[in-house]
Chains A and B, each alone.
Chain A
Amino acid sequence: MASIREMRLRIKSIKSLAQVTRALETVSASKVRKAVQANQASRSYSEKAWKVLLHLARQPGHNNLHPLLNERLEVRKILVILISGDRGLAGSYNVNVLRNTLMYFDQFSQPVDYICVGKKGRDLLLRKKANVIAEFSELKNPANFIEISPINRLVIDDFLNEGHDQLYLSYTNFHTMTKQETMVRKILPLEVDFSGKGFNATHKNGSSVFTYEPDQKELLDEIIPRFTAMQIYQSVLSSQASEHAARMIAMSNATENANELVGLLQLEYNKARQQSITNDMLDIVGGAAAQTQSGR
Chain B
Amino acid sequence: MTKRALASIAIAVALSAGLPNISWADTIKIANVIELSGAGATVGSNWRDALKLAFEEINAAGGILGEQVEVTDYDTQTDPTTSRAMVQKAIDDGAYVIMGPIYSGSVKVNMMVAQQNGVPQLTGAEAPFITDMGNPYIFRTSFGAQQSMPKLVKYLTEEMKVKSVAVAWVNDDFGKGGRDSFVAELEKNGIAVNADVSSEVGQADFAADVIKLKSSNADAIFAYLHEEESARLLKEIRKQGVTQPIFGETTLMNQKVVDLAGEAVNGVRGHVGLSANAPIPGIEEFAKKFEAKYSYKPDHNAIKAYMGAYVVKYVTTKNGKVDRQAFADALHGLTITPADEPGILMETSWDDKGEVNRESFLVEVKDGKQTVVTTLPKL
Q: Do A and B bind each other?
A: no
Hey, which bits of chain A sit against chain B, CB under 8 A?
A: none
Hey, which bits of chain B sit against chain A, CB under 8 A?
A: none
